[in-house]
Amino acid sequence: MQPKIQTKIRKAIFPVAGMGTRLLPQTKVVPKEMLPILDKPIIQYAVEEAIEAGIEEFIFVSSKGKNAIEDHFDAHPELVSMLQNRSKVKELKILEDISFTPGQVAVVRQPYPLGLGHAVWCARHLIDDDYFAVLLPDDVIMNKISCLAQMSSAFAEKQGAYAAIMEVAPSQIHLYGAIATDLSQDKKSLPIANIVEKPKKEEAPSNLAVIGRYILPKSIFGILEQTPKGAGGEIQLTDALKALIGRVPFYGHVFEGARFDCGTKLGLVEANIAFGLQQDDIKDDLKKILKQYGAF
């Protein structure tokens, strides 16, 4: 009998163990993933994106002091019964949108801050499918069809590993994983020939940067186990991805959508404005305010 080919990504890992030092003092007590874009925390955008892409199991790789994240997606019976008693239908629906069946959400701890690669590896016992997704919540992506849904569709057609990619200014490439690919191919999914974590501008293989959405094979865990510390003295996911090249088909996926780096002050402000301008109840007043500040 032919082995069954996986066409649907069911599980997603959300690395949320980072300390968020770039946003101190705000992140001293409140996890950066719980900072708001309008009325929702950053992490909820990533979880909603995963739901839209058909993800059924959500795995948070968390750490000390970050329990607010798992609490946000847990049941809150007291709040629900209070809202029911007051017939607050709209608010009940808002809670319903982030309620899960028991077992759908799992939390594993990353006990030491050893890097993104190590964080993903911490979830190895919870992954049994051949392929799974990883979403870095700092990267918030706004699009009608979510970024992971776009990647999942590509995967359904052509199995393999995927990393979301976009062009960035050459002066910014040192902040990202950068890939080498054959740009003569006019496709959305470009075979990755090389990948380097946070290269110097002069050494970058291109200005195509990896953005925090991945579809990865289970075999990445064995590779991560052997991956020595890399950039910044951390175990880098990118270094393990490099070892994937040649073992499984590996594509950079040019996604559609606007991406905001919500691990930075500017990215957070930009995301709040961009999402605000899309919300019917506030967009007109927001435009007036922006005009008042000389924005346009």
What residue ranges bind ligand G1P (CB under 6 A)?
Answer: 116, 136, 139, 176-177, 197, 209-212, 236-238
Q: Of 55 and 168, which CB lies nearer to ligand G1P in the complex structure? A: 168
Q: Of 9 and 179, which CB lies nearer to ligand G1P in the complex structure? A: 179
Q: Of 83 and 255, which CB lies nearer to ligand G1P in the complex structure? A: 255
Q: Which residues, other chains included, contact 186 with Cβ-Cβ below 8 Å and sequence gap of 6+? A: none
Q: Which residue is nearest to ligand G1P (CB)?
A: 177
Shortest Cβ distance from residue 92 to ligand G1P (Å)?
A: 35
Angle at 27 between CA 23 and CA 29, to 5 degrees: 165
Spatial CA neighbour of 165 closest among 113, 207, 201, 135 = 207
Q: Of 155 and 176, which CB lies nearer to ligand G1P in the complex structure? A: 176
Shortest Cβ distance from residue 148 to ligand G1P (Å)?
A: 14
**Is residue 167 helix, strand or coil?**
strand
The helix (H) or strand (E) run that includes residue 254 is: strand 250-254
Report whether 52 contacts 149 (CB < 8 A): yes
Shortest Cβ distance from residue 212 to ligand G1P (Å)?
A: 4
Other CB atoms closer than 10 Å to residue 39's CB: what's the count?
9
Q: Of 98 and 134, which CB lies nearer to ligand G1P in the complex structure? A: 134
Shortest Cβ distance from residue 113 to ligand G1P (Å)?
A: 12
Q: Which residues, other chains included, contact 214 with Cβ-Cβ below 8 Å and sequence gap of 6+? A: 133, 134, 135, 161, 162, 163, 164, 237, 241
Shortest Cβ distance from residue 38 to ligand G1P (Å)?
A: 21
Shortest Cβ distance from residue 96 to ligand G1P (Å)?
A: 31
Shortest Cβ distance from residue 229 to ligand G1P (Å)?
A: 13
Alpha-carbon gap, residue 81 to 92, rounded angstroms: 9
Q: Of 98 and 181, which CB lies nearer to ligand G1P in the complex structure? A: 181
Q: Which residues, other chains included, contact 11 with Cβ-Cβ below 8 Å and sequence gap of 6+? A: 55, 56, 57, 58, 59, 126, 127, 129, 132, 133
Q: Which long-range contacts (CB under 8 A, 24 or more apart) does 166-170 make?
A: 166/208, 166/209, 166/211, 166/254, 166/255, 166/259, 167/207, 167/208, 167/209, 168/207, 168/209, 169/207, 170/201, 170/204, 170/207
| Dihedral in degrees, nearest 10, Cα atoms 122, 42, 46, 263 | -60
Tokens of 238: 């990118």
Shortest Cβ distance from residue 293 to ligand G1P (Å)?
A: 29
Q: Of 105 and 173, which CB lies nearer to ligand G1P in the complex structure? A: 173
Q: Of 51 and 196, which CB lies nearer to ligand G1P in the complex structure? A: 196
